[in-house]
Amino acid sequence: MGLVATGPVAAYETHFATNVVGPLRLFQNLLPLLQASSKPQFLGVSSAVGSNTLNVPMPTAHYGVSKAALNFLVTKIASEHGDKDGLTAWVTHPGLVETDMGNTGLEQLKAIGVEVPSITVDESVAGLSKLVDNATKETMGGKFIQYDGSPLPW
């Protein structure tokens, strides 16, 4: 398991490369296109595990820590480019989706006695599509929103 005291540093490096550095590179490379867009939007796909206040008991600290860093990165993008470029930058939790990764997470949580409801890929996509289609800087900018539209605490 990836507890803080015993989790391998390499796991943190890998997750940060994927969940923080990857989106940062994407944003930097897409910025000219976003600035040229009539409705620019940058969405970070995070996780409730990345909330600093929910403290979801997922026994993979490296994943949650990297998602918390992604959340912070996107709030910085929102504050630096929201008004300046009219950019809607926000973060979402797509739900605990019944995918290979989601099912692994469910098993890990069940192993420590935590029951969490899951959703299908179709449910997640339907919710996220509606949010993306209707997102504005005023409604979503700098926020952490679950796939169903409910806000999540940082």
Contact 77, 89 (CB under 8 A): yes
Nearest to 52 by CA among 152, 149, 150, 151: 152
Contact 89, 144 (CB under 8 A): no
Q: Which two tokens stand for residue 98?
A: 């019944």
Known catalytic membership, residue 147: no
Contact 81, 89 (CB under 8 A): yes
Degrees, nearest 5: CA angle 45-141-138: 145
Hey, which residues does 92 pair with through a beta bridge?
Answer: 45, 145
In single-letter form, the type of residue at position 75 comes to: T
Identified catalytic residue from 63, 137, 143, 147 = 63
Identified catalytic residue from 67, 137, 143, 147 = 67
Known catalytic membership, residue 12: no
Q: Which residues are catalytic?
A: 63, 67
